[in-house]
Structure 1
Amino acid sequence: MKKIEAIVKPFKLDDVKDRLDEVGVHGMTVSEVKGFGRGGGKAPVYPGAEYVVDFVPKIKIEIVVPDDLVHPAIEAIMEAARTGHVGDGKIFVSSIDEAFRIRTGETGPEALS
């Protein structure tokens, strides 16, 4: 099992959700987050003043999938989240040793569906 964390532009959330559903990922955790990458944020100009916004609003999507869904899920996220512009986001993958469904006591991949 792997945990996939994707940081994407907020307006891409519905597209990512729909694509993940198409490849068999039917649950996720979503958080509103702020951050910046190489661009260091943005510097909007208002009449008479320029100021730096250090953190840009993003959406963090977290899913845990069985090993056979890792690459389809990553491809779905990349296709749905890509705009071709700076700030499209990042995807991180980490190993999950165990998963438990609290209600039933199911463990491992059975706890994911």
Structure 2
Amino acid sequence: MKEVRAIIRPNRRERLRIALREIPNFPGMSMFSAQGFTAPASIDKRTVRDELTDFTEKFMVCVLCPDDMVETIRGVIIQSCSSGQFGDGLVWVLDVAEVHRIRNGELMD
């Protein structure tokens, strides 16, 4: 099992939700409010004030999924959330050792 995480722009949230729901057997997702900023080295001529006050609203998306769904989910996130501009976000994948349902303690595959 894997966890696909992404940081996305707020204006891409609904577009992403619609696209993910179109994936057959999509397992669901969680979304959290986040704040972030683009790495200073990637933007020309920034002032110290810009670097200390440029936090922008973002969302973190988390999807637990079987290994064979990772490529599809990652692709949908990139396609749905890309504007081609700095600050579009990131997507990454983590290994998950175990997942248990709280309801009954059942181990999920």
TM-score of the two chains, using structure 2 as the length reference: 0.82
Moved more, 68-77 or 15-24: 15-24
Unaligned runs of 5+ in 1: 43-50
Q: Which residue of 2 aligns with 1:8?
A: 8
Is there any run of 5+ residues in structure 2 with no aligned partner, and where?
44-48
Distance in 1 (CA, whole Å) between partners of 2:26 and 2:37 is 28
Q: Does 1:92 align with 2:104?
A: no
How far, CA to CA, are the matches of 1:79 and 1:85 in structure 2? 13
Structure 2 partner of 1:70: 70
Question: Percent same amino acid among aligned pairs?
Answer: 30
1:50-75 residue CA offsets vs partner (Å, 9 max, x unmatched): x6333111011011100111000000
Deviation of 1:86 (Å): 1.2
RMSD: 1.8
In 1, the alpha carbon distance for the partners of 2:28 and 2:104 equals 17
- Following the alignment from structure 1 to structure 2, what is the Cα–Cα distance between the partners of residues 86 and 39? 11
Structure showing greater relative contact order (alpha-carbon pairs closer than 8 Å, 6 or more residues apart): 2
Deviation per CA, 1:51-103, whole angstroms, max 9, x where unpaired?
Answer: 63331110110111001110000001001001111111000111000001111
Report the number of matched residues: 100
Residue 99 of structure 2 aligns to a residue whose secondary structure is: coil
1:1-31, CA deviations, whole angstroms, 9 ceiling, x for partnerless residues?
1111100000101111111111132421111
8 Å Cα contact 1:33-1:58 kept in structure 2: yes
Aligned partners of 1:15, 1:92: CA distance in 2, in Å?
19
Work out the CA distance in 2 between the residues paired with 1:87 and 1:28. Answer: 22
1:48 corresponds to:
none
TM-score by structure 1 length? 0.80
